[in-house]
Amino acid sequence: MATTVAVPEMTDKSPRRSSLLEWVTTVDHKRIGIMYLLAALFFLVCAGTEAALMRIQLWKARFDFLEPDTFNQLFTMHGTTMVFFVGMPILVGFGNFLVPLMIGARDMAFPRMNAFGLWMFILGGLLTYYSFLQGGAPDVGWFAYAPLTSATFSRGMSTDYWILGLMTSGLGTLSGGINFIATILTMRAPGMTFGRMPLFIWMMLVDAVLIVIAFPPLTAAQTMLLLDRQLGAHFFDPQQGGSAVLWQHLFWFFGHPEVYILILPAFGMISEIIPVFARKVIFGYESVAAATVLIAFIACGVWAHHMFALGLSRTIDIFFSGSTFLIAIPTGIKMFNWIATLYGGKIRFQTPMIFCLGFLAMFLIGGLSGVMLAAVPFDWQASDTYFVVAHFHYVLFGGTLFGIFGGFYYWFPKMSGRLMNETLGKWNFWLLMIGFNLTFFPMHISGLMGMPRRIYTYDPELGVDIWNQLSTIGVLVQAAAFIVFAVNLIGSLRSGERSGDDPWDAWTLEWLTTSPPPAYNFEVIPAVRSRRPLWDLKHPEDPDWEHE
């Protein structure tokens, strides 16, 4: 059977246009990474459209632009899409493209499994979206709380689409996680000890471990739910001796580490970009790596902070409140490391860097409102209000997405051989910065004024119209930012300035090969003596390995 796969003719030495078939059958980590990115951008458009529709509906009190049922489907699909089909695939895509290049390997440890993971993600996402054509999308929230998901309350198949779409794409994610661990543990270039790995690699390793820890409980819970719905089991049905709270435990045991799965690679990206654009080494490499491990460890013990409003018990609340406060410590360590890296640096304010600076500012706000929510009495007050929506958008949009944009502008030259346009990049940044804050900052206020989440409208007497209108206007500005990005992406791909191998004067191994790299990445596997192998080559009079 293997003979049916044609071995491409290698006689043609000039770079040629690649056919669609080559992309579909590829096992090259770089192409797989790029396909992850493209598919995730497609889903980003879907999720963004859903968000925009919701914002129109919330323009004024008692507006009837959307049916309540439609609104439920939109917020469910927006959350589900952003987490499973945008956030993770983009990060996994960058990881796929970058990990082998950064550690000086020719490919991932399991290249075919890598392709499998990609297709499971894409097809799982499409399966979930197919529900729109089958009588309605899932409408139980991305967290799918029992007993709302039981056959009694969720009729039709929409919840089953949610279960099976996520289960199948989750299988892909899990295989990706295993692949990253195996690759990073076994395929590093000679001399690249753990202490010399780029921080992005550290973060991807920890991220992959979190994936392997967090996804099986979700899949198990979804299997139980499927049994409940299809075969009459009663895992989550309290009336038959099941437990609705059990679902919340299982879901959030996945759900909180998931937040860190979504942020750690972005941490990794800015840990690569900030030093290059500040022309300094990262401040406290060891502490950044150690803080990452610590975050992952603590992240597995905080899940019930999503359940304070449930009334579990005082002891449990105190434990999970304490552990949540604790996670601010390693996160704070990293903030200080990044800021200390900037301090005294010769900063170049190019687009990748300004997105990183935006990241620092926005993530700080999201982190601080997170600490506020960790206090149990405050959480009781703010739970299920727009304050929480504001909080996690500052973390996942202001944090992860700003980091991802920085990553796009930074590594796009390596993927395509062309630079993205700086002017459009600055427009992209400022429109996004303004639009983002205009959308999400007012949600802190409307939330504290009592506006509940996941409700299709609000009461005029609440007095939150103005804050909602600001948020909706913000979406318009954001849409402009995304259009600028799309124009920049397509325009630069066609006619961007040639980047050369190493446009940023950077220090990690991906910049040692051409842009784009050949299928085999490196003619000769480089040997590494320090954390910045390219610095050592550029400054033989003052190599890093003398100091590390």
Partner 1 sequence: MSTPHHASDTPLDGHVPAPDDGHSIETVELPGPTAWPLVLSVGLIMVAFGILTNISFSFLGIIMALVGIVGWVTEILPGRGHIHEELRPEELRPKPVKRADVDVIPMAPGMPGHRMHMPEKVHPYSAGAKAGLVGGVAMAVLAAIYGVVSGRGIWYPVNLLAGMVLEEADTDPVAQLEQFHLLALILGLFIHAVGSLFVGLIYGIVLPMIPRGRVLFGGLVAPLFWSGCLWASMDVLDPVLAQRVDWVWFIASQFAYGIVVGIIVVRTEKIHTTRGWRA
391 near Cu ion (CB under 5 A): no
Q: Among Cu ion, partner 1, none, what does residue 256 contact (CB within 5–8 Å per kind)?
A: Cu ion
CB closer to partner 1 out of 318 and 466: 318
Nearer to partner 1, 64 or 523 (CB): 523
Closest CA to 341 of 358, 327, 356: 356
Smallest distance, Å, CB 548 to partner 1?
A: 9
Q: Which is nearer to partner 1, 95 or 111 (CB)?
A: 111
3-state secondary structure of 500: coil
160 or 379: CB nearest Cu ion: 379
Residue 69's binding partner, choosing from Cu ion, partner 1, none, with beta-carbon cut-off 5 to 8 A by kind? none
Least Å distance between CB 331 and partner 1?
Answer: 20
Contact partner at residue 185 from Cu ion, partner 1, none, CB < 5 to 8 Å by partner kind: none
Before 460, cis peptide (omega within 30)?
A: no
Minimum CB separation from partner 1 for residue 493, in Å?
20
Taking residues 141 to 180 in sequence order and writing x for each that binds Cu ion by CB under 5 A, - otherwise, the string is: ----------------------------------------
Q: Which is nearer to partner 1, 116 or 504 (CB)?
A: 116
Spatial contact of 520 and 511, defined as CB atoms under 8 Å apart: no
- Backbone dihedral angles phi then psi of residue 498, each to the nearest 5 degrees: -65, 135
150: partner contacted, choices partner 1, Cu ion, none (Cβ within 5-8 A by kind): none
Smallest gap from Cβ 51 to partner 1, in A, equals 26
Is the CB of 74 or the CB of 388 nearer to Cu ion?
388
Euclidean distance between CA atoms 359 and 405, whole angstroms: 10
**Residues listed for the chain:** 548
Q: Least distance to Cu ion from the beta carbon of 276, Å?
A: 32
Helix 244-278 × helix 386-395 angle, to 10°:
40
CB 278 within 8 A of CB 188: no
Minimum separation from the CB atom of position 5 to partner 1 (A): 5
Give the pair of three-digit tokens for residue 277.
């654009």
Q: Which does 234 bind (CB under 5 to 8 A by kind): partner 1, Cu ion, none?
A: none
7 binds, among partner 1, Cu ion, none (CB under 5 to 8 A by kind): partner 1
The residue behind tokens 């009459």 is 232
Compare residues 14 and 495 and give the one whose CB is closer to partner 1: 14
Nearer to partner 1, 64 or 541 (CB): 541
Spatial contact of 273 and 406, defined as CB atoms under 8 Å apart: yes
**Which residue's beta carbon is nearest to the bound Cu ion?**
256
Using the contact rule CB under 5 A, the part of the chain among 182-190, 253-261, 287-295, 534-542 near Cu ion is 253-261
- How far apart (Å, rounded) are the C-alpha atoms in residues 424 and 221? 45
State the distance between the two ends of the chain, measured CA to CA, in whole angstroms. 51
Would you call 151 helix, strand, or coil by DSSP? coil
Cα angle, residue 516 at apex, residues 514 and 519 outer, rounded to 5°: 90
Within 10 A of 482 (CB to CB), how many other CB atoms are there? 17
CA dihedral (226, 228, 234, 237) positive or negative = positive
Q: Is 334 in the site for Cu ion (CB under 5 A)?
A: no
Using rule CB under 5 A, residue 256 touches Cu ion: yes
Q: Which residues contact 221 (CB under 8 A, 6 or more apart)?
A: 247, 250, 251, 254
Judged by beta carbon distances under 5 to 8 A according to partner kind, the member of partner 1, Cu ion, none in contact with residue 133 is none
The footprint of Cu ion (CB under 5 A) covers 256
